[in-house]
Amino acid sequence: MTSLSQPAVTPPSTSALPDPNGPELDPGASHGHGHGAHADHTMTGFVIFLASESLIFLALFVGYAVYKSSAPLWLPAGVEGLEVREPLINTVVLVSSSLVIWLAERALHRQRLGEFRAWWLLTMAMGTYFVVGQAIEWQHLSFGLASGVFGASFYLLTGFHGLHVVTGLALMAFLLVRSLRPGLVLPEGKGVLAVSLFWHFVDVIWVVLFVLTYVWQRR
């Protein structure tokens, strides 16, 4: 979406025959032939999609804030609040993984495939640490999904975010496997760029979520 008034012209491709198997939104799709014209718009489409996706979280956050400040019943009986220490460590790990994935991106840009894989794996490890930490926290909570509007909101928010983290991890694993494929042409920018953007997005959402649910506990 660089300039709106000057249309980016579709460069005529040598073979305009639509490649029915040509990947579109698939991250990491390399276009050796034809159809590459369409793929140029992957990032545009992906950014539009992410902007839209962020509004689901915005809606859930607003709902949470409204309930938190207006519901006559909030914390279920016997629940004092949320433990912050472990989730805080989780948060630090997840947020720092944003830096790591940026390092991976840079390594790929400099055509250092090995270094890229190392940073990429580290990002995945940090993401996995977060998801596992979250699962452990869920197991030890004394309230459930049906424990009033607080329990429902907490699990919906963290669960929906967790789903995004898992999606990000799956995409990363997919790209990692692809990068092991012999005969790879570098740089395989598009997919990595998209996944890394997605990962930053997931991190930013988590920070807001963390502030809303763990930091803002007093009513």
Which residues make up the interface to other proteins (CB under 8 A)?
A: 1, 4-10, 12-13, 15-18, 20, 22-25, 38, 40-42, 44-45, 48-49, 51-56, 58-60, 63, 66-67, 70-74, 145-153, 156, 160
Nearer to other proteins, 104 or 165 (CB): 165
Q: Please say which residue, 80 or 180, places its beta carbon nearer to other proteins.
A: 80
For other proteins, the closer CB: 48 or 88 = 48
Cβ burial, residue 57 (10 Å; 0-12/13-18/19+): buried
Residue 76 Cβ, how far from other proteins at the closest point, in Å?
9
Q: Which residues does 28 contact at the CB level (< 8 Å), separation at least 6?
A: 174, 175, 178, 188, 190, 191, 192, 195
Least distance in Å: CB of 93 to other proteins? Answer: 27
Minimum CB distance to other proteins smaller for 149 or for 176: 149
Whether 33 and 181 have beta carbons less than 8 Å apart is answered as no
Q: What's the distance, CA 122 to chain centroid?
A: 16
| Interatomic CA distance for residues 173 and 199, integer angstroms | 13
**What CA–CA distance (Å, rounded) separates 74 from 67?**
8
CA atoms of 83 and 70, how far apart (whole Å): 23
The smaller minimum CB distance to other proteins, of residues 147 and 179, is found at 147
Looking at the Cβ atoms of 20 and 183, the one nearer to other proteins is: 20
Residue found by looking up tokens 């740089």 in the block: 187
Token pair 């915005």 in the structure block, residue: 58
Min dist CB 97 to other proteins, Å, is 25
Task: Tell me the closest approach of the beta carbon of residue 49 to other proteins, in angstroms.
Answer: 5
| Minimal distance, residue 30 CB to other proteins, in Å | 16
Shortest distance, CB of residue 127 to other proteins, whole angstroms?
23
Between 67 and 129, name the residue whose CB sits nearer to other proteins. Answer: 67
Angle between helices 85-109 and 113-140 (to 10 degrees): 160
CB 217 within 8 A of CB 81: yes
**Dihedrals φ, ψ of 24, to 5°?**
-110, -75
Minimum separation from the CB atom of position 216 to other proteins (A): 17
